[in-house]
Structure 1
Amino acid sequence: MRIDFTPSQRTSLGVEWELELVDLDTRQLTGVSNDLLAEISLEGDGEHPKAKHELLQSCVEVITGVCQTVAEARADLAGTVDELAGYAAKQNVGLMCSGTHPITDWASQEVTDTERYHALIERNQWMARQLQIFGVHVHCGIRAPEKAIPIVNALLQYLPHFLSLSASSPYWIGSDTGLASYRSKVFEALPTAGLPYQLSGWDEFERYMEILMASNAIESIREVWWDIRPHPNFGTVELRICDGLPSLDEISCVAALAQCLVERFDRQLDDGYTLPEPRPWLVRENKWRAARYGLDAEIVIDNTGRVQPVKDALYAVVEDLLPIARRLECSDELELIPKLVERGGSYQRQRAAAAENGGRLEPVVDLLLAEMRDGLAL
């Protein structure tokens, strides 16, 4: 099976941001995406190009166009979010983003009425019905299909960096799960989600997709929701590991880290290097540690079992990537990462808000709404 790949001329950037629609009186999720998207689309006399339906009617996905810099992607997202927020306010609805909603029960949510989503529910049943989770996806363009799988494999070394930095889902239906990222564990329940298989190259990727389709495991490669995956139509490597991020400041950090890493790996392949490929057991262990402990995780850094605080690993990779970041015009955004670590991840800020309010979680929702509206001012 041949899978055509649309190469990018450089390490371009695209971001997808899954936003929660929140009733401002109850702080619960509210399923008004149909009305909201219909209203915003009517203004443009057709479907909105950058605001889309998602699985649940309490979510709208905002997407960028193809951007060259992190600043361009940030401005693109901000424009669409501002437009959406204006329409939402008329319905007493607020926008926020976190890996999970702190209090809403997934069983109360309506599924968006499309053939694709109904098929997803029919096949996966409660595993799919429980997907009241929200993430940020970063696409980075690469210059040739044969680079895609080596770059996916090499990025697995940095999976705990992205997950610990973005972890924002400590709560599930009103309870503290004890994890920094419960979302990452919920999503793994789907048979084609979670960690990617470490394939040998594009040929093996094509064969694997052909087998999945022939066996009716999937209908299209869009149904392979790996934490990091190639996206042939866009000509990108897509990082899907991140929890939902409350603010544009945090999205800028993650996008800069992704773009710099992919640019480095792409150029190393041009120079004839063989990219590093961590052992599967190490990748799985580090994902668990990041999901459980977030920025307090100690990650395994080699096959002998040596560990390093993920905070130190983040500081080191920022320093290492700064020359590339300057070339990509995202050094300011990359250098926000240490400031975010010092400020505390979203899961930490959420728990602090709950502790300050006697364990009540409605103030956590208020915090997330405010961070979306006002940013973090890192």
Structure 2
Amino acid sequence: MGVEEEYLLLDPVTGLPVARAAEVRRAADLQDALAAGEVQRELLQAQLEIATPVCRTLDEVGGHLLRMRHSLDIAARETGCRLAACGAAPFNWRRPVPVTPTARYRAMHSRAPRLTDEQLIAGMHIHVGVPGRQAGVVVLNRLRPWLPLLVALAANSPMWQGQDSGFASWRTLVFGRWPASGAPPSFADAADYRHRVDELVAGGLIPDTGQVYWHIRLSERYPTVEVRAADVQLRADEAVMLAGAVRALATRALADEREHRPAPDVRPEVLSAALWHAARYGTANTVFDPRAGRLVPAAEAVDTLLTIIEDASAADRRHTAPLLERLLREGNGATRQRRALRLGGRARLLRMITDWTGGA
């Protein structure tokens, strides 16, 4: 498995996005703890992305995330900005942040200028290895019903342009405006997946397969299923927790398929509405439970997930079950951001989303 995390670059005083991605990448190249290619550019010049190496254990995932977060934070501070682990830029920006100067990103801006300007968001992508694309489609189909719970647990973007958006994950709403986004359909098999993705490109509806922005998709580069539903997390251990939950769900999906156990049957319109509800409320209200087929208290939905995690390895349970329980006690990132703003204003919120290098 592997994890990709996106971050925002913010001014240390105002909290506004700053277009210093190129400078931070150059400073990162001088960090001995960062390998070549681990820090990657993103759509806007106030964003950066990191990608872990291929990992076998959640301990490896956590170690790499801490290493890269810490080293990239040092590079950001050396260039006069801060690395922010939040799903959306929380404070007003006076003018659009420039697009990273590549042909691909310029074409995206030309096609959808306002939408591109507003992509000041940061997500987390979880890759889980699968033994072939047919197995990948099995995992995709069986994980689809769990996407609302994953969005709710990972919600970490309540603020937008200086105001509370009213949503726990405003990033989910912003990112959902692209043509091929949100929950994917179910697929008959790997050939059906390939045909329907190719049809989007061949019909000119999206320029290439890289702009299949579904919450879960088959990777075009790696033998993995890629879950893209999560906001980037405030804490590295929360990112590991989500990665562990996704791997447990994927493992259970393949086992259930072998044993011919039925998957939860969630209709597309129900799934779409459940995702909206998850983005709106996070874990502060009810959450959709795919096995019950209805909204239930967040603690009840997490209990359902914990029954699946019980089948995971002891090491994976150590990284997931206690942290899911902590999340229910302390709140997800969105809840904690709002608490920081209420108790200490913008300054305390800015400290929270940029002072996370102490680790898990």
Task: Tell me which residue corresponds to 1:348.
Answer: 335
Residue among 335, 350, 359 paired with 1:365: 350
Instruction: List per-residue Cα deviations over 1:221-244 (Å, max 9, x = no partner).
Output: 111010111114211111101112
Q: TM-score, normalised by structure 2?
A: 0.93
CA contact (8 A) 2:182 2:213 kept: yes
Task: Tell me which residue corresponds to 1:145.
Answer: 133
CA contact (8 A) 1:227 1:240 kept: yes
Size of the aligned set, in residue pairs, is 358
What is the correspondence of 1:120-269 to structure 2 with a 5 Å cutoff?
120-269=108-257
Cα shift at 1:269: 2.6
Cα shift at 1:296: 2.4
Instruction: List per-residue Cα deviations over 1:29-71 (Å, max 9, x = no partner).
Output: 2111101112323667x98321100111111101101101111
Residue among 322, 325, 334 paired with 1:338: 325
CA contact (8 A) 1:279 1:303 kept: no
Instruction: List per-residue Cα deviations over 1:304-324 (Å, max 9, x = no partner).
Output: 964311321112311332232
Cα shift at 1:119: 1.2
Q: TM-score, normalised by structure 1?
A: 0.89
Q: Write the distance in 2 (CA, Å) between the matches of 1:306 and 1:80.
A: 39
Alignment RMSD (CA, Å): 2.1
CA contact (8 A) 1:147 1:269 kept: no
Q: Write the distance in 2 (CA, Å) between the matches of 1:163 and 1:94.
A: 26
CA contact (8 A) 1:102 1:364 kept: no
Cα shift at 1:75: 0.7
Cα shift at 1:154: 1.4
Cα shift at 1:273: 4.2
Instruction: List per-residue Cα deviations over 1:107-135 (Å, max 9, x = no partner).
Output: 43121111111111112221222111111
**Percent identity between the two aligned chains:** 27
CA contact (8 A) 2:23 2:79 kept: no
SS in 2 for 1:39: helix
CA contact (8 A) 2:70 2:357 kept: no
Q: Write the distance in 2 (CA, Å) between the matches of 1:186 and 1:119.
A: 19
Instruction: List per-residue Cα deviations over 1:249-273 (Å, max 9, x = no partner).
Output: 2101101101111111123333444
AA at the equivalent of 1:369: T
Structure 2: gaps (5+ residues)? none
Residue 242 to residue 300, structure 1, CA distance change in 2 (3 Å): closer
CA contact (8 A) 1:153 1:277 kept: no
AA at the equivalent of 1:138: I
Q: Write the distance in 1 (CA, Å) between the matches of 2:313 and 2:299.
A: 19
Q: Write the distance in 2 (CA, Å) between the matches of 1:272 and 1:286.
A: 26
Q: Write the distance in 2 (CA, Å) between the matches of 1:303 and 1:241.
A: 19
Residue 28 to residue 321, structure 1, CA distance change in 2 (3 Å): same
SS in 1 for 2:282: helix
Cα shift at 1:142: 0.8
SS in 1 for 2:357: helix
Instruction: List per-residue Cα deviations over 1:279-321 (Å, max 9, x = no partner).
Output: 1122112111111111023234469964311321112311332
CA contact (8 A) 1:325 1:334 kept: no
Q: Write the distance in 1 (CA, Å) between the matches of 2:268 and 2:9.
A: 37
Residue 320 to residue 263, structure 1, CA distance change in 2 (3 Å): closer
Q: Write the distance in 1 (CA, Å) between the matches of 2:82 and 2:258.
A: 46
Residue 110 to residue 47, structure 1, CA distance change in 2 (3 Å): farther
Residue 264 to residue 362, structure 1, CA distance change in 2 (3 Å): same
Residue 82 to residue 296, structure 1, CA distance change in 2 (3 Å): closer
SS in 1 for 2:153: helix
CA contact (8 A) 1:296 1:311 kept: no
Task: Tell me which residue corresponds to 1:101.
Answer: 89
